[in-house]
Amino acid sequence: MILLETKGLTRIYGGLRAVDDVDFSLARGEIHALIGPNGAGKSTFVGMVSGRIPASKGEVWFEGRNITSLPAHVRIKQGMAYTFQITAIYARLSLFDNVALALGSRDRPAVLEALARVGLADRAAQTAGDLAYGHQRLLEIAMGVAQAPQLLILDEPTQGLAESEIEGFNHLIRSLAGDTTILLIEHNMQVVMALADTITVLDTGKILSRGTPDEIRANSDVQNAYLGVG
Amino acid sequence: MTVNARSTVLHLGLIAILIVLGLVLPTYHQGNLARILVLATYAIGFNVLFGYTGLLSLGHAMFFAAGMYGCGLAMHLADWSVLPALGMGLASAAALSLVVAVLALRTIGVAFMIVTLMFAQAFFLAALYLGEWTGGDEGFVIAQARRQLAGFALTEPLTRFFAALTVFSVALLLTAWLMQMPFGRILIGVRENEERTRMLGYDVFRHKLLAVVISGTISGGAGAAYAVLFGYVGATFASVQYSIFPLLWVLLGGMGTTIGPLIGAAFMFYLIDYASGLTNAYLLIVGAALVLLTLFARAGIVGEIRKRWVPWLP
């Protein structure tokens, strides 16, 4: 069953086609990684899916409905959650307040449970901006998870996380799998290979390849464009 | 005690202290305090938008004056009694703030400040232009005989004080309650990180729109109360000066604190009062005090107290 589909999705900046006629589909319950070199259009693509960036052309379908014309906050209410590439938390509010805003409720046990999923429950009263960078990333992930979305979009979630924290992150994402569909932009190939059911490789705004981790690893085009180093 | 219970105690305690002050203060200070309470109500309205939502309007005088003219003209020209005239003042301010919000919120940041400033200037000039009814910059006086509410003469100092205190208390408790509600939390979210708030699924535009309307209506309520309690309506209250005052009061008292607007308004009122008793160049002393406060208490008086000693202050 298809949860998310894009048809001919395109974004043009000036003369540059940052995302170029992308047909993409995502099955419910899947963990899908979006990889590609810098500037491949990954963030622009998920920006158009979530509604942050208006599409120049093409359509976005979510749960069988055309949501192309809906503003971002309505798409989020319909079951998407989005974590930013550059950490976007409420730096001057407490962790509790951050998660409470994500949950839309100040129910204490629920907020603490959401924080506990990333191991931050004991810091609920702390000011978010005072956390170490890695912990801020984890808080942002906790806010995404707290929304209990159908589709969780993570833009480079493990950037700046320590090895041990990445372990915890992988564990968290696996625990969500099945209920939550996950679209993951990620540069850390170990994380991608460990988590993803399917991988799409973007290059210069187009889909270069799509397949299982093993297929992608074996694909020579992908190796040339992106994985060459590994 | 939970934070909510503490803030309820704080607010009711403050109101109780003000009641006692109203009863024991000499008439001069009682009159001052009544004026401060009405101006603090205006600052509370401003604080909803500036302190909690993070939107800096430089044109709030138009809302204050809309309430003042709406109420004052209804009494002066149409002989309305106090209560419906106050309602008219509130309705005028609400209507104006809705129109201004729809137009001004298409902009952000500095552009929002300029657009609100320009709307307020247009309002100010319109008030002068329509001098036949508004009395222009001379304004008009509302007859003492009309300023009666349920048999009480609002011209009598103690009655006037308690009427001012009632207006202030309603605004204080209303905003304190609002900021505990999910709606208020979302406004704070908009202030702290608008894009994040949108991407948590909140309709940021709608919340900002409501914040402008609530802020403008409370400010207009203060303007209407000013007209009724002090019996004078004039274009000075629509001038740019009266758009800057609430900004100063809120900055001095502590933006985004519930009691900051009162502390800021009282501080500034008595600073001017005291300094003008010392010298004709009192604005020099006022200016120096403001510079010192910005240097050493950047969060404002209440904001600084919250930062250093009492983190739960609402």
Tell me how far the alpha carbon of residue B197 is from its chain's centroid.
27
pLDDT tens digits, residue range B145-198? Answer: 888 888 888 889 999 999 999 999 999 999 999 999 999 999 999 999 999 999
Buried b (16+ CB within 10 A) or exposed e, A173-197: beebeeebbbbbbbebbebbbebbe
What was the pLDDT predicted at B286?
Answer: 82
For B307, name the nearest residue in chain A, comparing CA atoms only: A92
Identify whether B11 is part of a domain: yes
Identify whether B116 is part of a domain: yes
**Position B74 pLDDT exceeds 90:** yes
pLDDT tens digits, residue range A84-133? Answer: 888 899 999 999 999 999 999 999 999 999 999 999 999 999 999 999 98
pLDDT tens digits, residue range B92-113? Answer: 999 999 999 999 999 999 999 9
CA angle B54, B262, B5 (to 5 degrees): 80
**Position A7 pLDDT exceeds 60:** yes
pLDDT tens digits, residue range B186-235? Answer: 999 999 999 999 999 999 999 999 999 999 999 999 999 999 999 999 99
Q: Is the Cβ pair A106, B185 closer than 8 Å?
A: yes
Q: Which among B84, B58, B51, B45 is positioned nearest to B242, based on CA atoms?
A: B58
Distance of alpha carbon A222 from alpha carbon A210, whole angstroms: 10
What was the pLDDT predicted at B91?
Answer: 98
**Position B297 pLDDT exceeds 90:** no
pLDDT above 70 covers what percent of chain A?
A: 97
DSSP, residue by residue, B36-69? HHHHHHHHHHHHIIIIIT----S-THHHHHHHHH
Q: Is A103 on the interface with B (CB under 8 A)?
A: no
- From the list B185, B188, B203, which residue is nearest A73 (CB)? B203
- From the list A52, A77, A100, which residue is nearest B201 (CB)? A77
What was the pLDDT predicted at B28?
Answer: 93
- The range of the structural domain enclosing residue B202 comes to 3-308
Contacts of B197 in chain A (CB under 8 A): 101
Dihedral of CA B161/B167/B170/B175: which sign?
negative
Domain count, chain B: 1
What was the pLDDT predicted at B1?
Answer: 62
Q: Is the Cβ pair B192, A91 closer than 8 Å?
A: yes
- Distance from the first to the final alpha carbon of chain A: 34
Which of A64-78, B38-52, B290-304 shows the lowest per-residue confidence on average (mean pLDDT)?
Answer: B290-304
What ipTM was reported for this prediction?
Answer: 0.90
Rounded alpha-carbon distances, angstroms, from residue B17 to A155, B10, B21, B169: 53, 10, 6, 12
What was the pLDDT predicted at A230?
Answer: 42
pLDDT (mean) for B282-287: 85
**Position B249 pLDDT exceeds 50:** yes
pLDDT (mean) for A141-166: 92
- Domains of chain A plus CATH, in order, are 29-54+71-229 (3.40.50.300)
Identify whether B313 is part of a domain: no
Average pLDDT, chain A: 91
pLDDT (mean) for A155-176: 90
pLDDT (mean) for A10-18: 93
Q: Is the Cβ pair B199, A100 closer than 8 Å?
A: no
Identify whether B314 is part of a domain: no
CATH number of the domain enclosing B235: 1.10.3470
pLDDT tens digits, residue range B37-53? Answer: 999 999 999 999 999 99
pLDDT (mean) for A42-49: 95
Distance of alpha carbon A58 from alpha carbon A86, whole angstroms: 27
State the smallest CA–CA distance between residue B79 and chain A in angstroms: 48
Identify whether B185 is part of a domain: yes
Q: Is the Cβ pair B192, A82 closer than 8 Å?
A: no
**Position B57 pLDDT exceeds 90:** yes
Q: Which among B225, B216, B187 is positioned nearest to B85, based on CA atoms?
A: B225
What was the pLDDT predicted at B90?
Answer: 98
Neighbours of A113 (CB within 10 A): 15
What is the DSSP code (8-state) at residue B142? P
Q: Which of A161-170, A201-210, B43-52 reaches the highest mean pLDDT?
A: B43-52
pLDDT above 70 covers what percent of chain B?
A: 100
